[in-house]
Amino acid sequence: MNQIETLVRKAEGEVNEASTLKALQEMQVRYLGRHGEFTALLRAIGGLPAEEKPAFGKALNEAKARLENIIEARRAALRKEDETRRHAAEPQDLTMPGRRMRAGLPHVLSQAADRIKAALIGLGFELIETPELELVKYNFTALNYPPDHPAMDDQDTFYVDDDHVMRTHTTPFQGRVFEERRPPFRIFTIGRCFRNEAVDRTHHHTFHQVDAFMVDEGVSMAHLRGTLGAFARAMFGPSVTVRFRPDYFPFVEPGVDFAISCPFCEGEGCVVCKRSGWIELGGAGMVHPDILENYDIDTDRYTGFAFGLGVERIPIMRYRIDDLRLFMENDLRFLEQFQA
Amino acid sequence: MKLTVEWLKEFVRTDAAADEIGHTLTMLGMELERMEESPLGPVLDFKVTPNRGDCLSVLGVARELCAKDAARYRPTDLMRECVNGFALGDEEETAVGAGVEVLDPDLCPRYGARLFRGLAPAQSSERIQGRLLACGMRPINVIVDMTNYVMLELGQPLHAFDLDLLAGSKVVVRRPRPGETLKTLDGIERKLGPDMLMICDADRPVAVAGVMGGEDSEVSGSTKNLLLESAHFDPRSIRRTRKALGLSTDASYRFERYVDPEGVVRALNRFALLVRKDTGTEPVNGVLDVYARPPERKPAKVRPSRWNLVLGVEVPEAAAATGLQALGCRVTEENGSLVATPPSWRADLRREDDFVEEIGRLWGYEKIPESLPIGSTLQGGETPEPALTSRVKRAMLRLGFTEVINHTFGDLSPLDADGERVRLRNPVAPESALLRCSLLPGLAACAARNRGRPLFLFEAGKVFLNGREFPALGFLMSGRLLEEHWENKESPAADLAAAKGMVDLLGELLRRPFEFQANDDKRFHRHRQAKVLAGGRELGLFGQVLPEVADGLHVREDAMMGELDLEAILSVPEATPRYRPISPFPAIRRDMAMAISSKVPYSELESAVREAAGETLERIWLFDVYEGEGIEQGKHSLGIAMLLRHPERTLTDEEANDVRERAFRALEALGATRR
Ligand SMILES: [Zn+2]
């Protein structure tokens, strides 16, 4: 029994002397571990008379528990000391820069394109991709552009040869769809277009468009207006409405230009809408019956609508960007302004 | 086109203010671009779409306003006179003193003329001059001014010839003979193509029909007698001719957009009336009028069911009929449908839906409600090609890259891929004539533009090579992998291993495990490049650009660049992950250090270890590579770590040591010695 008491006292003395958590941990192993001194004492129990064994075992367990408490108390004290010392040695300055990981940044035009995609996919449209280097057949002929017609004037075209052009709009995807599918369908595309124009702040020979169209039974201009309304509200907020005014594109009849009520001033008039309360967004209309007939689609059974708009317009309006050329200059000082 | 409001009000009676008129024009399809002030009051500057040549005049605009809102805009007496052709009463007679012969009636369906004697080219009245100035035209003399005035008012271009300068006092409308040329009013000697229509006198061409007059027959200070031309020419031929000559005039602009063939004599009459008023000169009695091909106007059936369906709003039949009539159509009713015949000035109204548009336009698009299409329920989504591009972009963003978008057009670059290129016939500049065959030159330009900072850039876009247009992914890595920070000044710069790690991870994100092979592309460092493959297909490459190439492009010498063919990636089937149970038992790490010939590829060592270790090997990685002191020449020392774990129980130390022993023996079989 005295052995136990002696051991506890010796241990207690050492524990209270321990000056680091590491030393304390070592002590704990030395006394209470699997090969520690208390385990050694326990082995001595074998040599005792049978009647003394229970009392010895009980005293040993109590002593162990006592020592564990002493060690825990010492550990708590040491932790506290440690912390106090650390705080004193490491003054905290949260204004110093943190260590940052690299975050990928989508191009501002991709951000706009992604929003457009999400809105149109939500309205049941399917995204397809068609060539940038396009056949004259799809870019003009199949879209009802009459040869030698003034409608070609705003389509200054880059030619590769007599049959191939850089697409001047994304609309040629219509002909490719008509050749491969039968109605009903709702399809859209987004991509680069090219026009042979002098480059300045507001013009570029390369720009991006989105074009969508649907053909089904009973499709009307009301559906066009409803779809554009839903699309515009997805893009610009819940209060936006759509206005049509007559316009002309050879591939639609009737043809309209569509504008949205200015989401930036709620129609009051501001710089973005040039004080008019309306922002012209793109062209639209009912798919021309000439085109449907060219692809053997019964125009009495099927009608369709189509619309298109420029992608650059969206960040230009939203962020008040005043120079179209910036989009493809890729200066990170520009791109990094539009985190996503 | 510019018109003064006061001129318009000569044709329509209205109390609408200028901006209200402007708004009405916009809602009719003639977008008001701006409103100007002039000494004659407000000027409307509006756009006319190319299908509506008939609106390029006061008359046309007045007609549209009256059709849109008959209560607000009423025709004046002058408008009624105009509709009646400003008749002088002598139109049935043939003028004496000159002749007109049309040899090509297809290109000139109608040619009319009036003759004037003793009309001196004095200044025109202030009223005429004022209107021309306000509408953006320069007054010259009464003859030229009146032709312009009538063109603005009625849309019919007129041309005045000095009658005394026309050989044989004769106009012949024909195509040029071989070798004929013409000096136009702008003083340029023009070569004439065989398809151009010419106005000639008895001997030679005197004007390019519908485009520009000739210098030799021009009205001058000494002109006394006039032949005034008013004609209808084939719009396509005018367009081809003026494009071939590189000329565009107010006359050709209108002829290209269709001029009313029925308005030919009216314009001659209007000119005569205005000249009489301003100068007192009377025209020679009678007209010269060769009307070989009057236009055919076919009636179209216009069904109420059709316009209600297409417009999505009910327009009463009476309103539809009234509207079409107000636009000049002849309208009858037949079995519950309208039968509409368009007026002579509307060549654009051909089929039912053309009339439906007119009905909707006049009824007002603002009355069309919003509704969403019902019927077939369709699933929106992305087809595989754009879906893969989107996914690759997302993957690159996850890998910390910034997206750039570069031009399709460019010049030759040392970073171009080898192969057949596409060249533009009419580039904006000679250095923008080639379609890009690789995304690398654009990325290098981005790196040069943003020099002086770490760059991790990518672009996903179309490239054009060897007759293919296909989507590609290009990337550039240059500079420190981690942002510079006061606690970590020694972050390594992007190198071949970083590029390989990135591409490898990209393959994982796309669920198409990539393989890598040595490569020998001339754009890259011989030993610092790799070919990327998957499923046996070559997908692309990456590497460190040659120093001389990098230097020429102002890119950091240690920049890593690469490019992958997304179409090729799409053709590699995507792996579907299969779930494996997760072992709850603890893992044991065992390390192996060895020396081995540098010629033995690491992949061989790894597969040997995998095979020897068996199912308890969870992960294997290379944690150390060393060569130099203490290692034999031609060898290096490698440290390979294994993480071992048993799926069903706790692995013992002895078992782990056994695995290591087996692995070591497999490595020794490949020539490794333990260290
Ligand atoms: Zn606004």
> pLDDT tens digits for B401-416?
999 999 999 999 999 9
A vs B: CB pairs below 8 A: 247
Does residue B455 lie in a domain region?
yes
Strands B515-518 and B468-478, bridge-based pairing: unpaired
* Mean pLDDT (chain A, rounded): 91
- Number of domains into which chain B is organized: 5
**B527 lies in the same domain as B628:** no
The residues, any chain, with a CB within 8 Å of residue A319's CB and separated by 6 or more, are A108, A337, A338
Task: Band the pLDDT of B484: cuts 50, 70, 90.
Answer: confident
Does residue B379 lie in a domain region?
no
Strands (E), B23-78: 32-38, 41-46, 74-75
- Contact status of A184 with chain B (Cβ, < 8 Å): yes
Residue A254 has pLDDT above 80, yes or no: yes
**B419 lies in the same domain as B536:** yes
**B547 lies in the same domain as B403:** yes
- Give the end of a domain, one of B571, B601, B634: B571
Domain residue spans of chain A = 2-89, 110-335
Cα separation, A78 vs B70, in Å, equals 98
Nearest to A99 among B352, B445, B487 (CB): B487
Residue B432 has pLDDT above 70, yes or no: yes
Tokens at A153, concatenated: 């004037």
Instruction: Specify the higher pLDDT residue, B567 or A26.
Output: B567
Note residues around ion ligand 1 (Cβ under 5 angstroms).
A 262, 264-265, 270, 272-273
Which helix (H) or strand (E) is B175 found in, with range? none
CATH number, domain containing residue B634: 3.30.70.380
Cα separation, B403 vs A100, in Å, equals 19
Work out the angle between the directed axes of helices A21-32 and A53-89 (0-180°, nearest 10).
170
Nearest to A330 among B405, B424, B456 (CB): B405
Opening angle at CA A132, ends A135 and B531, nearest 5: 125
**B126 lies in the same domain as B70:** no
At B241-271, the pLDDT tens digits run 999 998 899 999 999 999 999 999 999 999 9
Domain at A110-335, CATH homologous superfamily: Bira Bifunctional Protein; Domain 2 (3.30.930.10)
Does residue B93 lie in a domain region?
no
Interface test with A, best of B376, B401, B434, B473 (most A CBs within 10 A): B376
The 8-class DSSP code of residue B124 comes to: P
- Contact by Cβ (8 Å): A104, B400: yes
Question: Looking at residue A60, what is its pLDDT?
Answer: 82
User: Over the Cα atoms of chain A, what is R_g?
Assistant: 39
The arithmetic mean of pLDDT across residues B217-236, rounded, is 92
- ipTM rounded to 2 decimals: 0.91
Cα separation, B498 vs B455, in Å, equals 13
Q: Is A284 helix (H, G, I), strand (E, B) or coil?
A: strand
Intra-chain end-to-end CA distance of chain B, in Å:
90
For residue A146, list chain B residues with Cβ-Cβ distance below 8 A.
236
The arithmetic mean of pLDDT across residues A66-73, rounded, is 88
Question: Looking at residue A148, what is its pLDDT?
Answer: 79
Q: Which domain holds residue B305?
A: 300-367
Nearest to B386 among A110, A129, A159 (CB): A129
Give B595-642 as a DSSP string: EEETTS-HHHHHHHHHHHHGGGEEEEEEEEEE-STTS-TTEEEEEEEE
CATH number, domain containing residue B219: 3.50.40.10
Strands A185-194 and A126-127, bridge-based pairing: parallel
**B509 lies in the same domain as B556:** yes
Does residue B580 lie in a domain region?
no
Does residue B267 lie in a domain region?
yes
Task: Band the pLDDT of B610: cuts 50, 70, 90.
Answer: very high
- Contact by Cβ (8 Å): A228, A280: no
**B438 lies in the same domain as B532:** yes
Give A189-212 as a DSSP string: EEEEEE-----BTTB-SEEEEEEE
**B453 lies in the same domain as B552:** yes
- B-proximal residues of A, 185-224, CB under 8 Å: 185-186, 192, 194, 196, 198-199, 205-206, 214, 216-224
Tokens 């992914």, residue located: B473
- Contact by Cβ (8 Å): B465, B418: no
How far is A121 from chain B, CA to nearest CA, in Å?
A: 4
Residue A218 has pLDDT above 80, yes or no: yes
For residue B179, the tally of other CB atoms under 10 A from its CB is 7
Residue A317 Cα to ligand 1 middle (Å): 10
A107 → chain B, closest CA residue: B403
Residue A1 has pLDDT above 70, yes or no: no
The 8-class DSSP code of residue B273 comes to: H
* Mean pLDDT (chain B, rounded): 94
At A102-122, the pLDDT tens digits run 899 999 999 999 999 999 999
The arithmetic mean of pLDDT across residues B318-334, rounded, is 96
CATH number, domain containing residue B499: 3.30.930.10
Residue B652 has pLDDT above 70, yes or no: yes
Q: Which of A49-58, B138-147, B519-528 has the lowest mean pLDDT?
A: A49-58
* % of chain B at pLDDT higher than 70: 100
Residue A61 has pLDDT above 90, yes or no: no
Q: Is B273 exposed, middle or buried (0-12, 13-18, 19+ CB in 10 A)?
A: middle
**B609 lies in the same domain as B628:** yes
Does residue B402 lie in a domain region?
yes
- B-proximal residues of A, 278-317, CB under 8 Å: 286, 288-290, 303
- Give the end of a domain, one of B367, B394, B417: B367
Nearest to A133 among B361, B378, B422 (CB): B422
- Contact by Cβ (8 Å): B463, B437: yes
For residue B310, list chain A residues with Cβ-Cβ distance below 8 A.
220-221, 254, 286, 303
Q: With CB atoms and an 8 Å threshold, state whether A129 touches B404.
A: no
Task: Band the pLDDT of B356: cuts 50, 70, 90.
Answer: very high
The residues, any chain, with a CB within 8 Å of residue B295's CB and separated by 6 or more, are B109, B261, B344, B347
DSSP bridge partners of A187:
A126, A213
- Contact by Cβ (8 Å): B350, A156: no
The residues, any chain, with a CB within 8 Å of residue B162's CB and separated by 6 or more, are B217, B218, B219, B220, B223, B225, B226
Question: Looking at residue B41, what is its pLDDT?
Answer: 96
How far is A101 from chain B, CA to nearest CA, in Å?
A: 7
Question: Looking at residue B312, what is its pLDDT?
Answer: 97
Residue A154 has pLDDT above 70, yes or no: no
Residue B12 has pLDDT above 70, yes or no: yes
Residue B378 has pLDDT above 90, yes or no: no
Instruction: Specify the higher pLDDT residue, A96 or B47.
Output: B47
b/e map B429-440, b = 16+ CB within 10 Å: eeebbbbbbbbb
Residue B463 has pLDDT above 90, yes or no: yes
Question: Looking at residue B225, what is its pLDDT?
Answer: 93
Q: Which of B69-78, B140-149, B211-220, B363-372 has the lowest mean pLDDT?
A: B211-220
B467 → chain A, closest CA residue: A133
**B360 lies in the same domain as B419:** no
Give the Å distances, CA to CA, from A91 to A20, A78, A85, A95, B242: 22, 20, 11, 12, 82
- Contact status of A274 with chain B (Cβ, < 8 Å): no
For residue B256, list chain A residues with Cβ-Cβ distance below 8 A.
150
At B20-60, the pLDDT tens digits run 999 999 999 999 999 999 999 999 999 999 999 999 999 99
- Give the end of a domain, one of B291, B322, B354: B291
Tokens at B499, concatenated: 């590029």
